[in-house]
Structure 1
Amino acid sequence: MKKWLTIALVSFALLAAGYIALPRYAIEQLEMAARDENEEQLQRYIDFPALRDNLRLRLQRKLRESVNGDVPEEFREFLAAGVNLFVSPLLQQLVTPEGIGELLRGGKDLREFELELYRMSSSVSGDVVDVPESEENTWQLRRWRFVGVNLVSADYGGDTTARLRLILERRGLRWQLVDLHLLGGEKEDE
């Protein structure tokens, strides 16, 4: 009986270790593919349709929140349709293996990426969007953690600040990038 219990515990420990190690391995593979400019490998670890959809939905939500009181209710759906006409082609052009690879390689194009994404939303809403200057040109993985059973968050940035958060989701045995958040240079909480 003790032998079977030991085998079961060891098997469970190995499965748990593998489950915890797989997202870290996926993050390393994503970094390596970006560093080597390997577009095929990037496509393997990034779910581009899901990433574009998540970015589009977030931009739409921010736009709705920013113009909520300024636009009459009967025009809100019309505005949302107009935003889709702008946002979808823009994301198709920006969220590519090359674009994400450049973003992961060091953030040197983060400011241009932010300006391009928010230029459209600020021109529609009339708000001026303040995009902070990027101090770093090379990013490192600051931390990663599970945020759900099938979700992992990985923060990238300079010495003490996180500038980019990647969200990876488990798809079978593979973990893929499904969302990213541009952070405002949050200090790490140890």
Structure 2
Amino acid sequence: MTGPTRTKGAATRPLLITLVVVVVIAALGFVYASPYIALNNLKSAADARDAQTVNQYVDFPALRDSLKEQIAGMLTRRLDADNDSKMATIGAMIGVTLIGPLVDSYATPDGVAALLNGMPPRGDPGEHPPAAATQTPASPAAGDTPTPATAPASRQTTAGYRGLNEFVVTYRRGEANAHYSAVFRREGLFTWKLAAINLNE
């Protein structure tokens, strides 16, 4: 009786090894794809103004800090380019009062939708994200064509890892190759959250 039992066990061993290999490969594939899935889910939720789902994919305290830093840097560069000291002083005062409300308006589902649809803040007084910042979904790794009524023309979107725990979506616009990026950071093994915006004028 031991002979047939051994033969059966030996026959099932390769099947178990194959099954384990398949499971491991599938798990690694899911780990690799997880930020793309998070990006797609967040964009869909933001476009639908699904605040509950957006909250699951955005680290709002980190995003606020990033927006404050980036908008302050944007305004500083503009002031440094202004040779008129009086205008620079007025601009600095306007800038201080501008940053808080602008950050608050973009740290919302509307703001996240705008950021993920190629419409970052420009630092203009009284600026708010477009109320209907939606487009036809496109692959995050390929260029997509925005709708003329809601987004700048000649925009391309690329996405990819920038380290083991950081995933970056870069939006390139036709305005002298201006670009900005949305930064997702890993939380745990499969969870990714939008945590920062990098504005480059």
TM-score, normalization by structure 1: 0.59
- Larger helix fraction of residues: 1
Query: 2:195 — aligned with what?
Result: 178
* Structure 2 equivalent of residue 34 of structure 1: 46
CA separation of 1:19 and 1:59: change in aligned 2, threshold 3 A: same
Deviation at 1:24, TM superposition (A): 0.7
* Residue aligning to 1:97: 109
Q: Structure 1 158/24 Cα, relative in aligned 2: closer, same or farther at 3 Å?
A: same
Worse-superposed segment, 6-15 or 45-54: 6-15
Structure 2: gaps spanning 5 or more residues: 1-9, 81-94, 128-145
Amino acid at match of 1:178: A
| Structure 1 residues 35 and 89, CA gap change in structure 2 (3 angstroms) | closer
- How do residues 139-154 of structure 1 correspond to structure 2 at under 5 angstroms? 142-154=157-169
Partner of 1:25: 37
The range that moved more, 138-147 or 37-46, is 138-147
Amino acid of the structure 2 residue aligned with 1:34: A
CA distance in 2 between partners of 1:90 and 1:62 (Å): 13
Aligned length: 155
Structure 2 partner of 1:168: 184
The reply to whether residue 114 of structure 1 matches residue 130 of structure 2 is: no
- Higher Cα Rg: structure 1 or 2? 2
Q: Does 1:56 align with 2:68?
A: yes
Residue 122 of structure 2 aligns to which amino acid in structure 1? Answer: E
State whether residues 165 and 180 of structure 1, in contact with CA within 8 Å, keep that contact through their aligned partners in structure 2: yes
Q: Decide whether aligned partners of structure 1 residues 176 and 9 sit closer, same or farther in structure 2, where only a CA change above 3 A counts.
A: same
Look up the SS of the partner of 2:160 in the other structure.
Answer: strand
Q: Which amino acid aligns with 2:61?
A: P
Change (3 A) 1:12 1:177: same
CA separation of 1:17 and 1:95: change in aligned 2, threshold 3 A: same
Structure 1 CA distance, aligned partners of 2:23 and 2:178? 36
Any gaps of 5 or more consecutive residues in structure 1?
Answer: 69-82, 120-133, 185-190
Deviation at 1:175, TM superposition (A): 0.7
Larger strand proportion, structure 1 or 2? Answer: 1
Deviation for aligned residue 1:142: 2.3
The change in CA–CA distance for 1:65 and 1:169 in structure 2 (over 3 A counts) is same
Distance 1:162 1:37, change over 3 A: farther
CA contact (8 A) 2:115 2:182 kept: no
Q: Return the offset for 1:98.
A: 1.9
Superposition CA RMSD, Å: 4.3
Relative distance call for 1:44 and 1:181 in structure 2 (3 A) is same
